[in-house]
């Protein structure tokens, strides 16, 4: 086996295929020693793996030795080649195809230059190098100006860099279907609290204002946002709940709308989301 070809078992499939496919295309070759067509296809794919110099990983699975993997992915005949990207099965073919057709299959699935730049950018971002990520995303956007995924990635990094107005403008420019992406909703929720980091430093002053005048809903809302910025979600939700109970019309229903933004940040499975959704529903009825 070379550096671009690995033998995969049930124990290593998650690591070598699912996780590795976040970094590059992974082709999984389901084969068996008794399979004649497999012996014809294998040298073709191995040759191409070397020719493409690591742009994809060839993961070989002996279907006789690893029947549970074959069953999980519905392998009914071999050779069967399945392509994975970002942890998902994206394409496949069955049978021993000639080299030209296998090459076309691979070339069609390999990421574009813009996609490679995007992935490099998000790796840099994941390593805490947000400024470098923006530079790489700018290059990727220049190659594919209409790529919505690049634009969403760029908005996420801009929020981290406290460039909220630019991020908001990017999200506003997305077409309707892209704007419905759950990730976009999450970024919009982040933007709701983007200006609250500096306020968080003055939380004690806001706490004093609310203590002296519980009816000061402006202070209460600012304090709630400051708590969110400091990851203090429960006291934030308590204040937002109080705003909603006292005055639904305040700030164009700011209490309820801000609570929904907090729910989006926390996710549906968070216990605070479940608890305060019920409290909010009771308050509105």
Predicted confidence (pLDDT) per residue in 104-157, tens digit: 999 899 888 888 899 899 989 999 999 999 999 999 999 989 889 999 999 999
Say yes or no: 11 and 71 in one domain: yes
**What average pLDDT does range 2-23 have in this prediction?**
89
Position 237 scores a pLDDT of: 93
Residue 166 has pLDDT above 70, yes or no: yes
Taking the C-alpha atoms of residue 53 and residue 36, their distance in angstroms, rounded to an integer, is 27
Q: pLDDT tens across 91-101, in order? A: 999 999 999 99
Q: Are 40 and 71 in contact (CB under 8 A)?
A: no
Position 275 scores a pLDDT of: 93
- Write down which residue in 155, 171, 191 finishes a domain: 191
Full domain range(s) for residue 125: 113-191
Q: Is position 38 annotated as part of the catalytic site?
A: yes
Active-site residue, from 17, 27, 28, 35 = 35
The CATH number of residue 251's host domain is 1.25.40
Say yes or no: 16 and 102 in one domain: yes
Say yes or no: 100 and 59 in one domain: yes
Percentage above 90 pLDDT, the chain: 61
Q: Are 30 and 36 in contact (CB under 8 A)?
A: no
Say yes or no: 117 and 77 in one domain: no
Position 202 scores a pLDDT of: 77
Q: 93, 75, 84: which is closest to 32 by C-alpha?
A: 75
Better-scored residue on pLDDT, 202 or 37:
37
Position 199 scores a pLDDT of: 59
Q: pLDDT tens across 228-271, in order? A: 888 889 999 999 999 999 998 999 998 999 999 889 888 889 99
Position 272 scores a pLDDT of: 93
Better-scored residue on pLDDT, 187 or 194:
187
Q: What share of the chain is helix, strand, coil (3-state, %, to 5)?
A: 65, 10, 25
Taking the C-alpha atoms of residue 195 and residue 226, their distance in angstroms, rounded to an integer, is 9
Say yes or no: 87 and 140 in one domain: no
Q: Are 248 and 256 in contact (CB under 8 A)?
A: yes
Number of domains in the chain: 3
Say yes or no: 22 and 98 in one domain: yes
| pLDDT confidence band for 1 (50 / 70 / 90) | low
- Write down which residue in 55, 75, 109 finishes a domain: 109
Residue 59 has pLDDT above 90, yes or no: yes
The helix (run of H) or strand (run of E) holding residue 176 is helix 176-179
Residue 181 has pLDDT above 90, yes or no: no
Taking the C-alpha atoms of residue 192 and residue 172, their distance in angstroms, rounded to an integer, is 14
The CATH number of residue 50's host domain is 3.40.30.10
Please give the structure tokens belonging to residue 215.
């009816």
| pLDDT confidence band for 29 (50 / 70 / 90) | very high
Q: Is position 207 annotated as part of the catalytic site?
A: no
Burial class of residue 238 (count of CB atoms within 10 Å of its CB; 0-12, 13-18, 19+): middle
Task: Please tell me the total number of residues recorded for the chain in this structure.
Answer: 285
Name every residue whose Cβ is closer than 8 Å to that of residue 195 and which is 6 or more positions away in sequence: 164, 225
The helix (run of H) or strand (run of E) holding residue 284 is helix 271-284
Which residues are paired to 96 by β-bridges? none
The CATH number of residue 155's host domain is 1.25.40.10
Position 22 scores a pLDDT of: 87
Report the predicted TM-score, pTM, of the whole model to 2 decimal places. 0.62
Active-site residue, from 8, 26, 38, 217 = 38
| pLDDT confidence band for 53 (50 / 70 / 90) | confident
Position 201 scores a pLDDT of: 56
- Write down which residue in 191, 214, 229 finishes a domain: 191
């Amino acid at each position: 086996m070379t550096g671009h070809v690995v033998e995969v078992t049930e124990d290593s499939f998650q690591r070598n295929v699912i996780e590795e496919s976040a970094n590059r295309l992974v082709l999984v070759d389901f084969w068996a020693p008794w399979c004649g067509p497999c012996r014809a296809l294998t040298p073709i794919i191995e040759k191409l793996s070397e020719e493409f110099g690591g742009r994809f990983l060839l993961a070989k699975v002996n279907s006789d030795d690893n029947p549970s993997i074959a069953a999980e992915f519905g392998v009914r005949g071999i050779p069967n080649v399945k392509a994975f990207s970002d942890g998902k099965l994206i394409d496949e073919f069955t049978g021993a195809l000639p080299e030209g057709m296998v090459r076309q299959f691979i070339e069609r699935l390999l990421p574009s230059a813009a996609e490679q730049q995007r992935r490099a950018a998000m790796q840099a971002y994941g390593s805490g190098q947000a400024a470098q990520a923006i530079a790489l995303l700018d290059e990727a956007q220049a190659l594919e100006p209409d790529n919505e995924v690049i634009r969403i990635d760029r908005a996420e990094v801009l929020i981290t860099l406290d460039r909220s107005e630019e991020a908001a403008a990017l999200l506003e420019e997305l077409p309707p279907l892209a704007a419905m992406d759950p990730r976009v909703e999450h970024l919009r929720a982040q933007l709701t609290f983007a200006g609250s980091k500096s306020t968080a430093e003055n939380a004690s002053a806001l706490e004093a204002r609310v203590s002296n005048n519980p009816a000061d809903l402006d202070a209460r809302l600012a304090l709630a946002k400051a708590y969110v910025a400091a990851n203090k979600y429960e006291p934030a939700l308590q204040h937002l709940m109080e705003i909603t109970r006292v005055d639904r019309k305040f700030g164009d229903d700011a209490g309820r709308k801000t609570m929904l933004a907090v729910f989006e940040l926390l996710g549906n499975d968070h216990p605070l989301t479940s608890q305060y959704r019920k409290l909010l529903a009771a308050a509105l009825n």
